[in-house]
Amino acid sequence: MFDKHRTKVSVVIPTYGRAKMVKQAVMSALFQELEPYEVIVSDDVSPDNTIEVLSEVAAKFSNFILLKNESNSGGVANWNKVIDAASGDFIAYCSDDDYFLPFHLKSAVEYLESHPDVDMVHSGFFNLSESGREFPKITQELISADVKIIHGTTTLKHIVRQTSYPFQPSTLVFRKKLWLSVGHFDPKYSVADTDWFIRAGLSHKIAYLPIASVVNRRHQNNWSNRVGSVAMNLEFHNMMRDALEKSKCNKDVFGFSMLKIHWLITELVKFSRIYISRSRAGLFEVAHDCSDAIWDIIFMGGRGKLYKLYATFTNATSRALRIIQYILPGGVKKYKSLGQDCPK
């Protein structure tokens, strides 16, 4: 039975160099309809006045905890640290550039309390542009009009179907026992939260709640922008490949085979689109990375003589796509406006 007086919820926020944004994230967590047991921020040696700003908050709120790293961890290690520090029964994760709407914790915990077989929930979200002049708005439809449960192989199906945005990290609310069971984010990935989400879903039930309860800020310094779309998609590819390999003994052989085929087709289409767009933009190194990903998908790796011919062909195609972009109507004007010469 849901009891706001006994339910202990820890809100965890790793931060680096976002003094203004992280303060709003903290305040949104402190002033929830379901008051959190604690709000913990771990600062990763921010170069701005983050510590000063958050120290002022700590002086006013007894349930606010500020952790300070002695050296910069690079990101993922700090995510692990702040979650490890949580002592609540439920943990709500929030990126330092996002913030909760007032009902976020209440709606998530109420569902988890009434569904003991589910160990984590995520939900829809609003996008807020960098300028802040637009009212927060949903830029894509909710994944489902009803609660959607994923577990085991259905987690992999969810990732394939929702490849552009399978979940928003700041909407995650989960039981502490889930964290202890699944373990840490893997620092070998820059987008380690996706790998962790997959691992969690393979062994635990996750529910998608069809509400938008978090505001996701979109700005140039988003973590995903720092990683880069190609590098991020390459990581997603490796995560899914490993997860599919671990799940290959699934009893539903036909269904699993169809899932793998669906995934491969989705990956081919995705990397082909990125390859074409980056080639037309003259980003040949990035296009080469995409062509390598396509090779690996089709031929399962290997770098023999045939690969050398393939690489020569795709490199030439990249440059041809660049020239075609230039000679298309408006192409000359476009490149001159960018101060670029005719592509070679």
pLDDT of residue 54: 96
pLDDT of residue 317: 93
Please state, in angstroms and rounded to a whole number, the distance separating the CA atoms of residues 149 and 112.
12
- What count of Cα atoms within 13 Å lies in the side-chain half-sphere of residue 225? 6
Tens digit of pLDDT at every position of the chain (344 positions): 445 557 899 999 999 999 989 999 999 999 999 999 999 999 999 999 999 999 999 999 999 999 999 998 888 999 999 999 999 999 999 999 999 999 999 999 999 999 999 999 999 998 887 665 666 666 667 889 999 999 998 999 998 888 767 899 999 999 999 999 999 999 999 889 999 999 999 999 999 999 999 998 876 666 555 656 777 788 888 888 888 877 766 656 656 778 888 888 888 888 898 889 888 888 888 889 889 888 888 887 678 888 999 999 999 999 999 888 777 776 655 555 545 555 55
142: exposed, middle or buried (C-beta count within 10 Å: 0-12, 13-18, 19+)? Answer: middle
Domains and CATH numbers, the chain: 9-226 (3.90.550.10), 248-337 (no CATH)
User: Residue 229 corresponds to which tokens in the numbers above?
Assistant: 């779309």
Please state, in angstroms and rounded to a whole number, the distance separating the CA atoms of residues 315 and 312.
5
Nearest to 273 by CA among 229, 316, 242, 222: 229
Please state, in angstroms and rounded to a whole number, the distance separating the CA atoms of residues 225 and 149.
30
pLDDT of residue 165: 77
Q: Do residues 14 and 45 touch, judged by C-beta distance below 8 A?
A: no
Please state, in angstroms and rounded to a whole number, the distance separating the CA atoms of residues 239 and 155.
13
218: exposed, middle or buried (C-beta count within 10 Å: 0-12, 13-18, 19+)? Answer: middle
Please state, in angstroms and rounded to a whole number, the distance separating the CA atoms of residues 91 and 220.
28
Confidence (pTM): 0.84
pLDDT of residue 219: 62
Nearest to 343 by CA among 201, 46, 306, 328: 328
pLDDT of residue 1: 45
Say how many C-beta atoms besides its own lie within 10 A of residue 17's C-beta. 17
Please state, in angstroms and rounded to a whole number, the distance separating the CA atoms of residues 206 and 216.
21
Q: Do residues 116 and 205 touch, judged by C-beta distance below 8 A?
A: no
